[in-house]
Amino acid sequence: MLKTANLGYPRIGENRELKKATESYWKGEIPKEALLETGRQIRKKNWLAQKSAGMDFIPSNDFSFYDQMLDLTALVGAVPARYGWKGGAVDLDTYFAMARGSKSVPAMEMTKWFDTNYHYLVPEFSKGMRFSPASEKPFAEFKEARALGVSTRPVIIGPVTYLLMGKSKDAKFSRWELLDGLLKVYVSILKKFESIGAGDIQIDEPALVLDLDAKAKAALKKTYALFAKEAPGARVWLTTYFGALGEHLKLAAALPVHGIHIDLVRAPGQLAAALRAVPKNKILSLGVVDGRNIWKTDLKRAVSFLKNAVRKRGADACVIASSCSLIHSPMDLDLETSLDGELKNWLSFAKQKLAEIKMIQKALSGEKSAAAGFQKNESAIRGRQKSPRIHKKSVAARLRAVKPKDSRRQSPFKVRQEIQGERLGLEFFPTTTIGSFPQTADVRQARAGFKKGDLSADAYCEFLREKTADAIRRQEDIGLDVLVHGEFERNDMVEYFGEQLDGFAFTKNGWVQSYGTRCVKPPVIYGDVERPRPMTVEWTAYAQSLTKKPVKGMLTGPITILQWSFVRDDQPRSQTARQIALAIRDEVRDLEKQGTAVIQIDEPAIREGLPLRRKEWAGYLKWAVESFKLASSGVSDQTQIHTHMCYSEFNDIIGSIAAMDADVISIETSRSQMELLDAFVKFRYPNEIGPGVYDIHSPRVATVEEMKNLLTKAARVLPPRNLWVNPDCGLKTRGWEETTLSLKAMVEAARALRAEFQNRKNGSGGGTAPKGKPKARVLI
């Protein structure tokens, strides 16, 4: 019998209940039991929804209060010593301290999960560290589902992926030295699953789609041979996703596991090779429904694609599944009551993807009951292909007219640096922030009131003016050198721009988890992109009219907009990126025309777009860098272009970052204690750089001395003239009290270090200050 499987389900709740409960717990507004109960209710709804949809394999342990890698760190007792854990079960407060930090210790480092916009907490490894079982979570949740009448397949990240995704600061230490100790804990986990009746266990090893060295391959062989020997009753499902197994297919096929899952959305070409390589005594799980995008699956095409595979292997040896966990997809399209009907008919969220999996399974099993669903699906697919909303002749003509010189600044950086220095007149170690300021409850309430029609456009605009003016006053009082307007009119750094660009659509409830309680509502890019009117000029001009200090124009770059959106799948991503770049280029030039001296184009997502295999990097980086330069190069030498990147490893793409030719780049470095700066030092990065000196994701206020120490580290290895001082990231999620204390400490640290250097620039600073207030038209 042909079966169905889902690899993971969104855990934030239909109305982001988990986010709200967790943040209330952090604030002391609700007790721990209330938070735990919220988790139980979300899990219950998820399991019952999947059972109702007809899934044969339903995951448990895919729920997390923050991050599944952090859950695993707790499960195997890999808690860093600074959190004071003395053994036993890892309690919830220690768990959250690792995630967020506390008043006394910083959080663990966070970075992107493979090439997604999901962030995970990076495990920390050291020589001689020991592992021990320290959590009952996966077993308790299996029992919890069973009590509801739902049989689940527990999911756990595999040990090889766990070790590969972690880090050690000791270059002489090999992470593989820890494998034997880690495997002892994994074996105990498998045996415990067996003892409580969990026969099938999903072990995720997405590392198999990466470039692997001989030690990693040997670790995979050793791991699964040991599992087969020590826990022979466990039916292990080796689960891969996000790409092709490629040269690792033979290795994976030979491992002693019950079943193997392959991603046929990101790598449909691997099916034929998998049919040849995977023995028929192993079940092949076919990930044909996209877990990472929101377009309807072409059911007719999917059935045609899989029909031969099911026939060759037999229905009992195949499973129809999602390509990866559905945590990267919004929960339920049915919640979108105001989305226009034509566009909504093209989409599919997590709940609908379960139905697609089931319909494919029914069709391949010869059941007639899926016929009506297939007809509706085919009508939607064909309707999208023929819709006049998709293509614009004007956009195509402009792309054809782009010339190489459009992606080059007028002069080399050294020339620009002198010209910009004369204009801005900043001292050494100039201070600034990354862009956003706290979006407090009154800001969110005003935005919600405006959207509901309870607050007029004029009243909302006046409210935003007051918030912007207050932010300018606060920054001047703190003593920052380059200011920002605070972005109070913006809901999200991508959504705000997408709402003003043609070719974008927006959902009301299409939330996905980015990290912890941070949820985003990605725009839907369904057609050609074009900017019909200026997007940020009025608010930037208004903020500049309030101060003599320069105010940065704040934009999101084309690659980040692309990466953090649900992107159309009917043309190459590179073409969509160039369309966005031209729209941002128009905005950059309009900001310059109204006198903005400093323009920041954020690209935090440029690295996450890298293909997972190194051989494919060059092609991506070529069009990604070209897109950024197309967006940023239409200005004169005196306009200073900044960019910002966060939570990325830069070593392997530093050449491409330099090729972007931004005058200033700010990066996240505080959690890594400036370790991420090493790539820029070794490369001798020529332009200016602002290494983040405090972690904005932690409520802890770093001391002046801590920040000064980090700056001193940077000043020892980079030219002081090229250094800026800034937080790690935007301050949207923080409160004003901690923000003010942190920024005052940051400015004091910069001034202290500045005093140690005598070669200051000449000039008094100050940019142009265009007068006037934004009109009542509100850009949200």
What are the catalytic residues? 697
Beta strands in 451-547 (DSSP E): 502-505, 512-515, 518-520, 524-530
Question: Per the structure block, which two tokens stand in for 737?
Answer: 């009290």
Map tokens 């990354």 to a residue: 434
Between β-strands 58-60 and 524-530, what pairing exists: parallel, antiparallel or unpaired? unpaired
Residue labelled with tokens 């020529």: 686
- Strand, helix or coil for residue 685: coil
Q: How many CA atoms lie within 13 A of 667 on its CB side?
A: 28
Q: Rounded to an integer, what is the distance from CA 261 to the centroid of its chain? A: 24
**Contacts of 405 by beta carbon, 8 Å cutoff, 6+ apart:** none
**Cα torsion through 701, 705, 708, 709, rounded to 10:** -110
Residues 50, 354: contact at Cβ < 8 Å?
A: yes
* Closest C-alpha among 730, 390, 331, 708 to residue 570: 390
Under the phi-then-psi rule, with left for phi > 0, alpha for psi from -120 to 50, and beta for the rest, what region is 618? alpha
Q: What distance separates the 2 farthest-apart alpha carbons in the chain? A: 82
Which DSSP state fits 17? H
Phi, psi dihedrals of residue 529, rounded to the nearest 5° = -100, 135
Q: Which residues pair with 105 in a beta bridge?
A: none
Which of 228, 262, 320, 267 minimizes the C-alpha distance to 3?
320
The CA radius of gyration of the chain, in Å to the nearest whole number, is: 26
In angstroms, rounded to a whole number, what is the distance separating the alpha carbons of residues 545 and 746? 26
What's the rounded Cα separation, in Å, for the pair 558 and 494? 10
> Phi-psi category of 335—alpha, beta or left, where left has phi over 0 and alpha has psi -120 to 50?
alpha
DSSP letter, residue 30? S
Spatial contact of 331 and 10, defined as CB atoms under 8 Å apart: yes
Query: CA–CA distance from 177 to each of 128, 162, 681, 717 (Å)?
Result: 8, 14, 30, 32
Tokens matching residue 40: 């139980």
The sheet carrying 598-602 orders its strands as 553-556, 598-602, 640-645, 664-667, 688-691
Which strand ranges, in their side-by-side order, compose the sheet holding 566-567?
502-505, 524-530, 566-567
